[in-house]
A and B are shown apart, each in its own frame.
Chain A
Amino acid sequence: MGKLTGRIFNIQTFSVHDGPGVRDTIFMKGCPLRCTWCSNPESQRHGLQLGWREKKCVGCGVCLKTCEHGALGRAENGAIVRAPEKCAKCLACVKRCYAKAMHVYGEDVTVDELYGRIRNKPQAWRVDGGVTVSGGEPLMQADFVGELLAKFRRYGIHTAIETTLCASFNKVAKVAAHCSLIYADMKLADPVAHKRHTGVDNSLIKANFQRLKKEFPEVQLIARTPVIPGVNDNEAELGAIADFLKTVPGLDDYELLPFHGFAQPKYHQLGIDYQFKDMPNMDKESVAKTNALLRERIGLV
């Protein structure tokens, strides 16, 4: 027990928007979906990824000298250019970087190590908070996450996950058994559109929605939809989602998450294109109004 290893890419302390109270949020690395708007692009691949944080870089060039694989170069404007296909993931450049501008996304930790790091901060629990596992997709590492959450639950700490529900029910069950709260995304109701925008079909997700509370009635289930311009920000699509959610047994609440472009710098760090570049953030108040109407439509009021 406690020796299972999982791969995370971040721990965020003092999270105030990922469940009740003040929380520590753990981000797992790897996700079966490839949502074009993904706000954590560094979470998608399970493999380690090199990031270059331009703002931190002092331009000393020690990383270029360190790399023995020719995976790093310098553009005319001074930017560090990466050739991921040549990178051997030796991380020598990360270790040598003085300014911590070269960064690796992904770290392997055991359940015990991770628990130890978080339990070091018991004050968050004392303020009615707890632990949230996000991602990436926590269910991709279901054994690890299940064991971790069980450890917190044993001491009465509130546990939550943020999930796509895109996993076999076997995996859902392993984690749900130790959850106080599950935030599950319903991004699109139409299977074809879902496949187009996220890379996967939504039939498994829908089936898990239907089954979850039947097997785990104690868990609080909150469905969420990120409202994305040009993808699902219209009445027809949101209405279809609401109509599906109306059929979900035991649904406790439904939240719309307005689009924001905070992820843009992370795409830049990873050197990948961002389809929503310079798209303005969505108005929170109007989204909140739509949210209220949809809650009513689902019968949550």
Chain B
Amino acid sequence: MSVCTMESSCMTGQEQRLADGRGQSSPRERTNRALNVMRAQRPRLDIERAVLFTESMRETEQYPLVLRWGKAVRHILENIPVVIQDGEILVGTIGGPGRISPLYPELRCGWFPKGMPETQKKDAYAVRSEDIATFMEKVEPYWRGKTAHERYLALMPKATRDIIYGDDDYGATGLMQDNSNINSTLNWSGIFDKIINRGVLALKKEAEDKLGEIEANPANGDYDKIPFLQAVIECYEGMLTYAARYAAELMTLAAAEKDPVRKQELERMAEICTRVPAHPARDFWEAMQAHWFAQIAYRAEQQISGGVALHRFDQYMNPLYVKDLKEGKITEDFALELLEAMWLKIAQVVPFSATNAGNYWEGYAHFENCTIGGVDRYGRDATNEMTYLILRSKKEFPLHYPEVSLRVHAGTPHELLHAAAELVKEGCGFPKFFNDETIITQLMCNGVPLAHARDYSAAGCTEIRMPNIDTYLSLGGNINLAAALEMALNDGWAHFGSRYEKLLTPSIARKDIKSFDDVMSNLRECVDFYVDHFMKRMSALELTNKQCLAAPFMSSQSDICMENLTDIHQCVMPGSNQHDTGNVNFNGFGTCAEALASIKKLVFEDNILSLDELLEAVNNDFENNEPLRQLMLNVPKYGNNDAWADAIARDLDQMIGELVHDRQSVFGEKYLKYVPVTSHVGLGNKTWATANGRHKHTFLSEGISPTQGADVDGPLATMMSIANSTSRVYPNSCARLLNLKLNPQVVAGEKGTQDLINLIRNFVDLKLWHVQIGIYNKDVLLKAREKPEDYKNLIVRVAGYSAYFVELSPSMQGEIIARTEHEMV
């Protein structure tokens, strides 16, 4: 609820919480104690997983990779310390207590000798000197020459490598931004219903039966599947031991516990850990514990970019919850406490990025998505009790993990949108909205079977996965459209940080550019140049990952992998969805569309400037030429539902769509996406000035959004512009990230709630892909920048995730402040 008085103008629920000192606290005291412990800690680099993984890998070099991985997962789960923290009702960690970052040396171990001591000097993570010493002794030497990143660098053409990395192989932001090997897979949604409803013993038996069948019939050609099945069984064995170790420790704790209430609770927890994940869960508490055990296995196995998404949580968790409610076995309050316990567990595992790149996924970004709502496999509305409970949980306890991704469609109930709008008004950016009407259609256009298309879930920022039919997704990167435009206009020369280089020779020399079509023709060549290099790095990465990575546990939960008895990293297999095998991301779409509008208007339509005069101003970063910069700033802009400006943006989108469509990598065709995370800040900081009046070395526009502050005609106009500028020339474009920022006064009261509901209905009607709505008072953000100590609980929407404002870099804070705030009019 928002409160309005004249002096304070309008405060969001979050701002009210900050003002009265409640911060993120929950109505449940035990949750708050755990929250306070967590908030007092910096994430600590935890080497347990790395040490155990390396120990096992060192001993198994004779086996096939997938089996080695299975043995390593088992070794980790059997030996990692059992840690039960005060007052916990869900147990299990993948390292020590508290807020931790487990390490994954198989990816970029080469970075650690230099990177670990440097990280120790900075504030963001806690690093113990004895851990560095142990890591350097027991982990680092083994991985020399064996990591995925070294294979990747070796497989990539030199020119591509130069463009991405320049002279820093462990950076990530060259002329293109590249996320390779910082994580092992991009955007994975876990599958949990099999562990919860069937149990590990039944799944293990199924694998053993298959294995027995193949071993008994060596002539039938499946003999090569044996290591895969053995690896799956190893993972299951590890999970069973892990749970048994927790059950034993819980019994010991229960025996020593003086408080009779807690004693009973510990005994019940011991019973739960004896029951799950081995057997099917019988009630909601058991299901939650089984769920977390599965998440532990995912995290032991791999570092997944975006964390382990929770798939359609309300769909598979609702039956046991409703059963418990009916039988009087659970109260809503305890169900909420269990949810809060899981949210805290998720928040405590913080990814660590082994990269020199600054501005990389700021604010400890991880994006575990909890998808709710949408339609079911038959196209009916899928809303249930759990859908509402999740929204309520985020309202009562606005922790920034997990993400809540609400799928909306034409038939989404009004009551659900009402609850969602009220949560949006809290001002933490939850939930984000995914549009079934667009996403399901797009998937079907690409040949996905209808039932699978309807069962998609959010994963990552604004991307989606169908975990039973999709396979491995290589990490993406970002192509810098502003740099491509600079090259198009300057005979192929581009600035990059302190460097200035000629990268190609566009067909039309700068002096011969006579029309706007000439500009677009050169731009096409320059974007193509980047797409070409992008596909080369993509192919190198896909080959690398196929050769260097495996994930038998993840594969064991996926229908398509189990049908083929093939590890998920082999990617292309019969029956799998072979379209979305990687992201071709573009950065600075708004920046580029607006700069093109400036050039078209000022040089070729109104003849106010010559191209030389315009470029001279841009190339001097508008030094002593503020009036011309103003002229460029005031050209009609993309984002205001201006037909002329939007047509330029649409041409740009179509050009990009065609160029991506025309190329393939080893795993096949790629989807065009506009998902920057925070790389638009990092890339922008290295990119020269642009003809939309943007100064050099400042952030680019974000996702598909117009330049921060350029859309001045209200959120409906912004949404219309995005709809108008989407070319839809091929069904190869998805994941367009849109951030809206509203002033709390716009959505005050019940009328504000209704207007917000209508805004979301419009989003559905306009067939946009994704929208997230941040609601803040600008002065609160400004105060938080000045006095971070008073605002350490302020959560803001960054990209496809929310983070603590004070944990972002100054330039990212500036970018969020600069976003257009649609005010009361």
Residues of A participating in the B interface, judged by any CB pair closer than 8 Å = 12-17, 21-22, 25, 56, 58, 60, 62, 98-100, 120-121, 123-124, 126-129, 258, 281-285
Contacts and interface: CB of A to CB of B under 8 A. Distances in A.
27 contacts: A13-B713, A13-B714, A13-B717, A13-B825, A14-B715, A14-B825, A16-B824, A17-B825, A21-B754, A21-B758, A22-B759, A58-B627, A62-B627, A99-B627, A99-B633, A100-B634, A120-B641, A121-B641, A123-B719, A123-B762, A123-B766, A126-B765, A127-B716, A127-B759, A128-B754, A283-B6, A284-B6
Contacts of B755: 16, 21-22, 127
Contacts of B641: 120-121
B4 A98 contact: no
A222 to B, nearest CB: 15
Interface size class of B (residues with CB under 8 A): 20 to 34
B630 A100 contact: yes
Nearest to B713: A13
Interface in B1-60: 4-6
B825 A12 contact: yes
A128 B754 CA distance: 10
B762 A127 contact: yes
A120 B643 contact: yes
Contacts of B5: 283-285
B425 to A, nearest CB: 14
B631 interface: yes
Contacts of B825: 12-17, 25
A13 to B, nearest CB: 4
B571 interface: no
A56 to B, nearest CB: 8
Give the most central of B719, B755, B761: most A CB within 10 Å: B755
* A-B residue pairs, 7 tightest by C-beta: A14-B714, A127-B758, A99-B630, A98-B627, A98-B630, A13-B714, A60-B627
B713 A14 contact: yes
B199 interface: no
Contact of B626 (A21, A60, A284): A60
A186 B53 CA distance: 79
Interface in B609-661: 626-628, 630-631, 633-634, 641, 643
A15 B758 CA distance: 14
A14 to B, nearest CB: 3
A249 to B, nearest CB: 28
Contacts of B766: 123
A83 B54 CA distance: 81
A257 to B, nearest CB: 13
A60 B765 CA distance: 46
Interface in B726-761: 746, 751-752, 754-755, 758-759, 761
Contacts of A16: 746, 751-752, 755, 824-825
Contacts of B822: 14
B824 A58 contact: no
Contacts of A13: 713-714, 716-717, 825
Contacts of A121: 641, 716-717, 720
Interface of A is mostly: loop
Nearest to B4: A284
Nearest to B823: A14
A99 B632 CA distance: 9
Contacts of A282: 6
Given A120-B641, A127-B758, A127-B762, A22 B4 contact: no
Given A16-B752, A22-B755, A124 B716 contact: yes
Give the most central of B626, B633, B716, B765: most A CB within 10 Å: B716
B713 A99 contact: no
A67 to B, nearest CB: 16
Contacts of B714: 13-14
Contacts of B633: 99
A146 B48 CA distance: 77
Give the most central of A15, A17, A282: most B CB within 10 Å: A17
Nearest to A120: B641
A18 B633 CA distance: 30
A14 B627 contact: no
Given A98-B634, A121-B717, A127-B762, 10 more contacts: A13-B717, A14-B714, A14-B825, A17-B824, A21-B758, A22-B755, A56-B630, A98-B627, A123-B765, A258-B6
B824 A98 contact: no
A150 B626 CA distance: 46
Nearest to B763: A123
A126 B762 contact: yes
Contacts of A21: 754-755, 758
A123 B641 CA distance: 11
A137 B755 CA distance: 28
B6 A281 contact: yes
A28 B766 CA distance: 31
A62 B825 CA distance: 32
A123 B82 CA distance: 56
Contacts of A126: 758, 761-762, 765
A129 B746 CA distance: 15
Give the most central of A58, A98, A121: most B CB within 10 Å: A98
Contacts of A123: 716, 719-720, 762, 765-766
Contacts of A129: 758
A22 B716 CA distance: 9
B751 A14 contact: no
Given A13-B716, A16-B746, A16-B825, A98 B628 contact: yes
B6 A58 contact: no
Contacts of B4: 284
A134 to B, nearest CB: 11
Contacts of B643: 120
A285 B643 CA distance: 42
A121 B762 CA distance: 12
Contacts of B626: 58, 60, 98
Nearest to A12: B825
A121 B724 CA distance: 12
Interface in B549-571: none
Contacts of B759: 22, 127
A138 B641 CA distance: 26
Nearest to A59: B626
B716 A14 contact: yes
Contacts of A62: 627
Nearest to A284: B6
Nearest to A25: B825
B634 to A, nearest CB: 5
A126 B754 CA distance: 13
Nearest to A56: B630
Give the most central of A14, A56, A285: most B CB within 10 Å: A14
Interface string B700-733: 0000000000000111110110000000000000
B716 A99 contact: no
Nearest to B748: A16
A60 B759 CA distance: 41
Contacts of A22: 716, 755, 758-759
A195 B74 CA distance: 89
Give the most central of B641, B761, B825: most A CB within 10 Å: B825
A16 B759 CA distance: 12
Nearest to A280: B6
B16 to A, nearest CB: 16
A123 B25 CA distance: 38
Given A121-B720, A127-B758, A128-B758, A99 B634 contact: yes
A13 B640 CA distance: 10
Contacts of A56: 630
A22 B753 CA distance: 12
Contacts of B627: 58, 60, 62, 98-99
Contacts of B719: 123
